Amino acid sequence: MFFSDFIFTTGSMQVGESDSVIIITHEPNWLLDWYWGDSTGTNVAYLIREYLRGRCKLRMAGDLHHYMRHSCIESKEPVHVQHLLVNGCGGAFLHPTHVFENFRVFYGNKYETKSTYPSYNDSSKVRLILYFYVILVHCMPAFDCS
């Protein structure tokens, strides 16, 4: 039985109208879906939009090895999630942030970037450094220094 089935069929989760909820998932599908043009996490989306209805104040995930926080811009539309947070900074390598620089909309609400690590600018510089490293190591003939 899926967690969402358990919640909706047994009614075992009692969330009051004034309660706040934090949703933690393994990967930030709000960013990955935006990037890949996909739509995953339908059970979580249903939970947030139809059951919690604005009571999810923070959606947090790891998996991507960087830090990124977005906050919802005030709107007349219902806000499904107030803050989106990726906290995957404990990884063995660093994922880029600059590829998500144009992320702005989730569940019909507009968001603004509040913080990233590495910054969009630093992330882009690291990409260039790695690009030139690959060219130097793999594309240049080996020099015989003997």
Token pair 């507009």 is at which residue? 110
Question: Does residue 144 fall inside a structural domain?
Answer: no
**Domains: count for the chain:** 1
Question: Does residue 109 fall inside a structural domain?
Answer: yes
Tokens standing for 137? 């190591």
Question: Does residue 111 fall inside a structural domain?
Answer: yes
Residue 122, domain extent: 20-139
Question: Does residue 40 fall inside a structural domain?
Answer: yes
- Please report, for residues 3, 7, 8, 35, 72, the alpha-carbon distance to residue 12 in angstroms, rounded to integers and kept in the order given: 11, 6, 8, 35, 30
Full-model pTM: 0.78
Question: Does residue 9 fall inside a structural domain?
Answer: no
In this predicted model, what pLDDT tens digit does every residue of 77-128 receive, in sequence order?
A: 889 999 999 998 766 677 888 889 999 999 999 999 999 988 888 888 877 7
